[in-house]
Structure 1
Amino acid sequence: MVTGQHQSVMDGPNFFTPAQVAVHNTATDLWVSFLGKVCDLTPLMRQYQGDALLLPIMEAAGQDISSWFDPDTKDVRGFVDPLTSCLRYYTPRGRFVHVPPAGPRSDWAGVIGQPWWRDRRYEVGLLTAKARWIRVINTLTSQEQRLQVCSEETLAEILQRYLPYNSHACSYTWKHNGVSLDMSRTLSENNVQDDDHELDRLRLDRDLFTPAILLHFNDDLSEA
């Protein structure tokens, strides 16, 4: 049995692919990513329901909005207005919730507390630095499943992604090139290399060279 095969997913931040974020693209289920974080802004949408300042966020639902923020300050990008010498904010899609107006306004509450982009209550995980595809092949049934996974995920976490396709996945030894994989390590740490950049350089179809993970049945079925 592979080391760690029956262990639960390791504690730590959850990683998401851009495709996973993109499916949350409605006002009642709205995620965005920015500066490496993934945030569920659905509660914010409910709190400010009907407010026009939600429109830029709604237009960006399911997308990465890192361009809105300064990576150094982690705040909305700002600049000094040459005419007024006052700080203004770069909001090309229009001002959004918690961004101060360009000038003094009687309807603006200067003290709003933590703006949503700094409020950790909205954070659900991290955006993967690199999503990659693998083929998971059940050698007992010859069933093959393509999975898009996060490069930071361990094999144990990838197993969790695979469970909907095989609820007994824990009862298999996972191998690559004939070598049993350490389920507590990532694909790269198990020498399952990501050759996407090299394939692109050679102008080869990535789909024809997707790494294969072979599942070998251990004859000890257990409930996942």
Structure 2
Amino acid sequence: MPHQTNHYYNVSHSLRYFYMASSGIPNFPSYMSVGLVEDDQISYCDSINNENIPKQDWMSNVTLDNPHYWEEETLTCLAKQETFKENIKIVKQRFNQTGGVHVYQQMYGCDWDNETGEVKGHDQIGYDGEDFIALDLNTSSWIAAKPEAVLTKQKWDNNKYALQYEKFYFTRVCVDWLKKYVSSGRTSLIKKEESVLPSQLPRYWFLPQQS
């Protein structure tokens, strides 16, 4: 690849967050969250430690402008724990389930092309390994993948404020954070890009999606 003055180096960049709530799994966190930039895990939190922690040394650069970054991320983790615990209860009721092992998961984030400026947002929810519901940013509406998700779709589609915020988040907030992360970790990310072949790139950690 020819030398580029653009410090983002790569053309396409991605930021992903994975959240998972589970029930019926012994000795396993009932909630977990993971953040990734490209294929680098940048953060981790679970219901056992109740603390969001950095997984890359270069994430310390992010806190230079925001010294309370990890405190805020931990508060977000704690809040999402409660939300996800309620969500998995609701979805289990939709499927008329009581006991057993069940997993509710969400994947959301954004892709950004630093040459064209194109931005894509993603928000997908799954349950027990199958798609449950996903956001269509083009139509600003939710797509139910299961009959049990129709009630959720109707409720979320009627929340116009939340839909407007989703669009704002994925096209502005998410991308701004992605740019900040890529800038903070550019040395590490560039070295990895130069030394790792595409066939060797690790796959994203992703358990059954949530709904």
Q: TM-score, normalised by structure 2?
A: 0.29
Q: Could you say which structure has the larger radius of gyration?
A: 1
Q: Which has the higher strand share?
A: 2
Write 1 or 2 for the structure with the bigger share of helix: 2
